[in-house]
């Protein structure tokens, strides 16, 4: 490729550092798709003859068949997927292959191929996340009434329902899907035709090429077209936030599966044993999902640093844009699939959750709310009264609901017998009827909305 300019070939180490075929071979389908679109446009504009276009098109078809059948033979001297395709095309059809590169550069080629790949990656992860949402919604519907402790600071705070807890993750995943959708909408402009950086003097039709590849239109500035990797960063940032959500859910599963909690049991399919302790059931799948979040965040950071301070237009640093995106995508796809499988197959222990929900004076806020609502006590004063009641219950080593009415009236005379109607965990949960609250009717309403949005049968 460089014979006209350089008298000597590159050093061995230069060939090695310069080659990207080891990872960008993943773009071969997208490179062929973009080449076909470019070829059809060149023929339509009579920049390449119809006869030559037919020969080149047949060659591209043969390359696709070869790659499908046995992959490609990597040659570091050919550097990247673009030159591998071009070299094989020349072997198959002869010098006419060189006409395919008219009015384009590897700069706009890779920018186009990479956008096509990221677009497909977004579609794949979006489908996986929809499956995870369906799993969450299905299990939430089974447990809309199942009482469990709600935590702050990992301390028992107020009772909630398991259905409500699972639907919180449905909401997180919904935001993740919206971020991926936003990223897809922004990337859906086609760089092909920007050439090296300044466009081309050939009378090409970029609108036609963009439409044939499923883009909304061509990119508007040739310099930006070849130097932009915002779409890759958008993907990585959305992937990082999604991985953080998966990691939080994984951490809860790990805690819930531990013997002090015993809220859930992971099936054998998603557990491992110990080489020395035969009793162990280790939640390794959840732990690996948790660990993958760090690697995905690292991929995002790697590309951020790669792009920092690069002048326009293309620089070879940008060859390193693909490995972190490929790695993050593989890890995220695996994490989503593993989490979906775990949610589908978890065994929940409602009786253990109910017992835990009744600990830690989880209905204390309900006592304070009752004082405000029934006795007209200002909330800050009610908070103080309730704190005294909790202290008394601690001293007597009983639950709030087990304090006698005399004990409660000894703390504040405005407390009446009706207070016992709100001091059970079931009553507490049922009372949280504000929109988005944990009351079972509210949970079922949110589940119905989610089912409709996800196209699930009722």
pLDDT of residue 7: 55
261 phi, psi to nearest 5 deg = -95, -60
Query: For this structure, is 170 an active site residue?
Result: no
pLDDT of residue 31: 98
Q: Identify the active-site residue in 153, 201, 275, 434.
A: 153
Residue (of 285, 124, 110, 307) closest to 196 by Cα position:
110
pLDDT of residue 13: 86
Rounded to 10 degrees, the C-alpha dihedral 312/313/316/319 comes to: 110
pLDDT of residue 222: 98
DSSP conformational letter for 142: H
pLDDT of residue 381: 95
Judging by beta carbons within 10 Å of its beta carbon (0-12, 13-18, 19+), is residue 414 exposed, middle or buried?
middle
- Tell me the residue length of the chain: 458
Judging by beta carbons within 10 Å of its beta carbon (0-12, 13-18, 19+), is residue 102 exposed, middle or buried?
middle
Beta bridge partners of 156: 151
Q: Identify the active-site residue in 178, 258, 274, 359.
A: 274
pLDDT of residue 281: 76
In the chain, the largest separation of any two C-alpha atoms, in whole Å, equals: 101
pLDDT of residue 378: 95
Query: Quick one: residue 8, left, alpha or beta (phi over 0 = left, psi -120 to 50 = alpha)?
Result: beta
- What are the mean pLDDT values of the chain's consecutive 10-residue runs (458 residues total)? 57 84 94 98 98 98 95 88 96 97 97 98 98 98 97 92 98 98 98 97 98 98 98 98 98 94 88 67 91 98 97 93 98 97 96 92 90 93 94 92 91 92 92 95 97 90
Q: Between the CA of residue 410 and those of 361, 376, 394, 403, what are the distances in Å?
A: 19, 18, 16, 11
pLDDT of residue 457: 79
pLDDT of residue 384: 95
First-last CA distance in the chain = 61
Residue (of 34, 22, 197) closest to 115 by Cα position:
34
State pTM to two decimals.
0.92
Token duo for residue 226: 């070849």
Query: For this structure, is 274 an active site residue?
Result: yes
């Amino acid at each position: 490729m460089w014979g006209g300019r350089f008298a000597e070939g590159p050093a061995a180490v230069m060939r090695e550092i310069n080659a990207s075929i080891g990872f960008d071979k993943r773009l071969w389908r997208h490179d062929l798709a973009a080449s076909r679109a470019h070829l059809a446009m060149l023929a339509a504009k009579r920049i390449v003859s119809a006869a030559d276009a037919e020969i080149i098109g047949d060659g591209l078809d043969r390359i696709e068949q070869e790659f499908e059948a046995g992959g490609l033979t990597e040659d570091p001297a050919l550097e990247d997927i673009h030159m591998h395709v071009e070299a094989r095309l020349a072997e198959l059809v002869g010098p006419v292959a060189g006409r395919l590169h008219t009015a384009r550069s590897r700069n706009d080629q890779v920018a186009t191929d990479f956008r096509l790949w990221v677009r497909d990656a977004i579609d794949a992860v979006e489908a996986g996340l929809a499956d995870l949402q369906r799993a969450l919604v299905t299990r939430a519907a089974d447990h809309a009434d199942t009482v469990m402790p709600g935590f702050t600071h990992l301390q028992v705070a107020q009772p909630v329902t398991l259905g409500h807890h699972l639907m919180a993750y449905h909401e997180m995943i919904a935001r993740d899907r919206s971020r991926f959708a936003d990223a897809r909408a922004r990337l859906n402009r086609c760089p092909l035709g920007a050439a090296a950086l300044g466009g081309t003097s050939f009378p090409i039709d970029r609108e036609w090429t963009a439409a044939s590849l499923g883009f909304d239109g061509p990119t508007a500035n040739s310099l930006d077209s070849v130097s932009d990797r915002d779409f890759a960063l958008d993907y990585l940032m959305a992937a990082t936030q999604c991985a953080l959500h998966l990691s939080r859910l994984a951490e809860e599963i790990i805690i819930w599966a531990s013997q002090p909690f015993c809220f859930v049991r992971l099936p054998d399919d998603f557990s491992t044993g110990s080489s020395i302790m035969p009793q162990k059931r280790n939640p390794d799948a959840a732990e690996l999902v948790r660990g993958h979040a760090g690697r995905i965040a690292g991929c995002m950071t790697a590309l951020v640093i790669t792009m920092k301070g690069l002048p326009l237009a293309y620089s070879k640093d940008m060859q390193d844009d693909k490995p972190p995106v490929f790695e993050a995508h593989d890890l995220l796809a695996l994490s989503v699939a593993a989490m979906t499988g775990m949610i589908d197959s978890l065994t929940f222990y409602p009786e253990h959750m109910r017992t835990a929900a009744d600990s830690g004076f989880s209905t204390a806020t309900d006592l304070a709310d009752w004082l405000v609502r029934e006795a007209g006590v200002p909330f800050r004063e009610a908070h103080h009264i309730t704190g005294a009641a909790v202290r008394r219950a601690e001293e007597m080593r009983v639950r709030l609901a087990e304090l006698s009415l005399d004990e409660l009236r000894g703390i504040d005379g405005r407390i009446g017998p009706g207070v016992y109607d709100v001091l059970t965990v079931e009553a507490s949960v049922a009372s949280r009827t504000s929109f988005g609250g944990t009351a079972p009717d509210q949970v079922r309403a949110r589940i119905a909305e989610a089912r409709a949005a996800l196209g699930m049968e009722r």
